[in-house]
Chains A and B, each alone.
Chain A
Amino acid sequence: MKITRRRFTKLGAAASIGLAAPAVWTKGFAQSGKIRVGCSASLTGPLSSTKNMVIGYELWRDDVNKAGGLLGKEVELIVYDDQSSPSNVPAIYSKLVDVDQVDFLFTPYGANLTATIMPFAKQRDRFIVGILTLASNDHLRHDKFFQAAPWGPDGATNWARGFFDIAQRDGVKKMAILAADTEFSKTAAEGGRRVCEETGMEVVDFQMYPPTNRDFSSILRNIRAAEPEAVFVCSYPADSTAIARGIQEIGLGDSVRLFGGGMVGPQYASLLENLGPALNGIVNFHLYVPEPTLKFEGIDGFLARYVPIAKERQVDPLGFYIPPFTYAAGQLISKAVEATGSIDQAEVSQWLHENSVDTVVGQITFDEIGNWTERRVLMVQFQGVDDSGIEQFRQAGKQVVIDPTAYASGDLIPFAEARKA
């Protein structure tokens, strides 16, 4: 077929209409009485174990819509799969803003994926709630960013500070630090070393290991030889398992009274079930555990509704780590919109900066860059864990809050003693 100039013009016009049609159509839809909230989630790929975050959003949406919506409008949730890949995220958020015309945004999971869209959010002056994104707004200082997780101010270096506070209270003088050779772990380990210098604790052993390492026997023997009183560990799920097993098999010596801090993995049901009693005595970070000091309004009801959905979708059956915070992220939006009677991004942001919000994860107050004004990363100690399976972790007393002291639900048991018990 010969392409004439006239035919080419017609084809061009048809293609333009075709491309523009979805935007025109969705704009009309958005104006037709829905409030749209959008985000990406890692439904597939290496981070897909975090996909249970969507359940938190869905339960929030359902609750809001059941109560008559926001400002009388139905809330619509739009979630795209970012396949755990940072390169997919910018295009998804451009589509959410320009084509889907969403009113509010949640970030993807974690700092790595979020880093790719923070400049976009600031440039377009969009309201956005951070989902466990550590220190994502520290440099950009976007005034419409709000963090759903309790990392607190200076989160990048201080999120695990509670571990060192416990060490200080316990009179620890000699600390060993073991961290995976990744940005997240290294920053926390360096932050820990600085705290030790400030508080007069001697760092007797400082080891970084490659993230692919799966045998820790040599490393644990080196730690044992250094005879520390506390060991701060920053590890990822597979390493955390190998370290916990290594302690069981080789031991750490009698000098160690405090062990753990920044181990990723024991927040998830699969590792809790796998490690069982091997976790006893470890003091580690968490964001929520079912202890009596953390009975925030609505959290029990939320978890009760989460469990059957999680079982059906074969995701983490406990749901303590991420889902309550994605539900809380939704609550930030709904409470600010209801209070201001508006969906104006500036008005909603200003209200959140000026007011505290009660959520299922407690009361949240934001500083000028959207971090929680108070760090509330929990340091919990595994106590009395047996090999009876996952259900025991729904009970109080298995993950006892040691720090912050305001939420403490029990006393620290020295590491060796807790393991013998």
Chain B
Amino acid sequence: MVVLDLVLNALATGVMLGSIYALLALGLAITFGILHIPNVAHPALVIAGAYAVVTSNRFGLDPILAGVLWAVPFYLLGILFYEFYSRSFESRGGGNTLQSLTLFFGASLIVEVGLVVAYGTDFRSVNVDYVGSSLRLGMVAIPYRFLIPALMAPVAVFLLWLYLSRTNIGLAIRAVAHDERAVSVSGINPATIKRHAFGIATALAAIAGAALVITGPIDPFAGRIHIGRVFAIVVLAGMGTIPGTLAAGIIIGIAESLVMSFMSPSWAPGVAFAILLATLALKPTGLFGAAR
């Protein structure tokens, strides 16, 4: 009975955690998975989004609503940042992976230092009534501070998938990923499309930040612990597959939770990469990635 209790709760926790991981990785699924830009600054932008949400929450605004509202300025910020990246690197032929990594690593440090200067290094959190209580379904207890942010993930994934597969501009984003030259031949400016896609990815960072700060307090450096995991999710899913990102996140979440329950919590951080390595060995395109 105790084992069944542990298994059921571990599965429930894993699904919740995995959905939150997927939400954190969703912006990266666009920048890295579709645009092939190794945006290691994405977790730092998520934390910046979380701080923006904390600020709004002080004035009584609900964190999720605040995250959605902050998505607009973050979209503009993303456009500006991509413009800088495009003019400084891509247009001069310097947009190779190593240089891009250096740029985004530097950007993430700037974001962190900016947050330290603006907010200090104390932990910040949001006040919401449901933190501290759980939804009980028989043997399973699901904390609301995980359940609510986890529910944001399928909604965001569904809307993003609809946008990318049912709108002209969404199709253009995917087309740029496949063949940039062919897109420009058909009269579309690839830079405009990529700028817009980068803006969406940055807007998603604000929404992911709202989800993250509901789960627990954050400090300016909190993004660092997620860098490896979010990249693993994007690659495991298969580059650029949006629904696959949710599935990959949940697989990693469940695996971590089971390892934590039945083996040793110390092994849990290695799980994401163990699954990634095993999957890539068997299916190099990732779980849901199409062969090109």
Contact = CB atoms under 8 A, between A and B. Distances in A.
B46 to A, nearest CB: 14
A233 B187 CA distance: 63
B272 to A, nearest CB: 12
B9 A238 contact: no
Contact of B261 (A218, A241, A242): A218
Interface stretch (A96-104, A143-151, A208-216, A371-379): A208-216
A273 B9 CA distance: 30
B265 interface: yes
Nearest to A270: B122
Contact of A214 (B131, B133, B215, B221): B215
A245 B260 contact: no
B257 interface: yes
Contacts of B133: 248-249
B219 A238 contact: yes
B122 to A, nearest CB: 4
A44 interface: yes
Contact of A225 (B6, B143, B219, B264): B6
A213 B134 CA distance: 20
B134 A212 contact: no
A159 B291 CA distance: 58
A181 to B, nearest CB: 5
Contact of B145 (A225, A238, A249, A270): A249
A316 B5 CA distance: 41
Contacts of A241: 123, 125, 216-217
Nearest to B3: A225
B121 A46 contact: yes
B132 interface: yes
Interface in B202-256: 215-217, 219, 221-222, 225
Tell me the interface secondary structure of chain B in the complex.
helix
B216 A238 contact: yes
A44 B134 CA distance: 38
A237 B218 CA distance: 10
Given A46-B221, A241-B216, A250 B134 contact: yes
A345 interface: no
A29 B14 CA distance: 64
A85 to B, nearest CB: 13
Given A46-B221, A48-B116, A210 B266 contact: yes
B120 interface: yes
B137 interface: no
B270 to A, nearest CB: 9
A222 interface: yes
Contacts of B120: 48-49, 314-315
B143 A249 contact: yes
A188 to B, nearest CB: 17
A214 B229 CA distance: 14
A240 to B, nearest CB: 10
B268 A213 contact: yes
B2 A225 contact: yes
Interface in B101-129: 116, 120-125
B19 interface: no
A112 interface: no
Contacts of B121: 45-49
Contacts of B6: 218, 221-222, 225
A237 B123 contact: yes
Contact of A215 (B5, B134, B146): B146
A219 interface: yes
A238 B143 contact: no
Interface string A297-319: 00000000000000000111000
Contacts of A218: 6, 9-10, 13, 257, 260-261, 265
B41 to A, nearest CB: 18
Contact of A212 (B215, B216, B257, B269): B269
B143 A217 contact: yes
B116 A222 contact: no
Nearest to B2: A225
B77 interface: no
Given A221-B6, A270-B123, A210 B217 contact: no
Interface string B138-175: 00010111100000000000000000000000000000
B269 A245 contact: no
A241 B221 CA distance: 16
A221 B143 CA distance: 13
B17 interface: yes
Interface of B: 2, 5-6, 9-10, 13, 17, 116, 120-125, 131-134, 141, 143-146, 215-217, 219, 221-222, 225, 257, 260-261, 264-266, 268-269
23 contacts: A45-B121, A46-B221, A49-B120, A209-B265, A209-B268, A210-B265, A212-B269, A213-B269, A214-B216, A214-B225, A218-B6, A218-B10, A219-B260, A221-B9, A225-B5, A238-B123, A238-B219, A245-B132, A245-B143, A248-B133, A249-B132, A249-B134, A270-B123
Given A45-B116, A218-B265, 13 more contacts: A48-B116, A48-B121, A210-B265, A210-B268, A210-B269, A213-B268, A221-B10, A225-B5, A238-B217, A265-B123, A271-B123, A274-B217, A315-B120
CB-based closest 5 A-B pairs: A209-B265, A249-B143, A212-B225, A218-B261, A218-B260
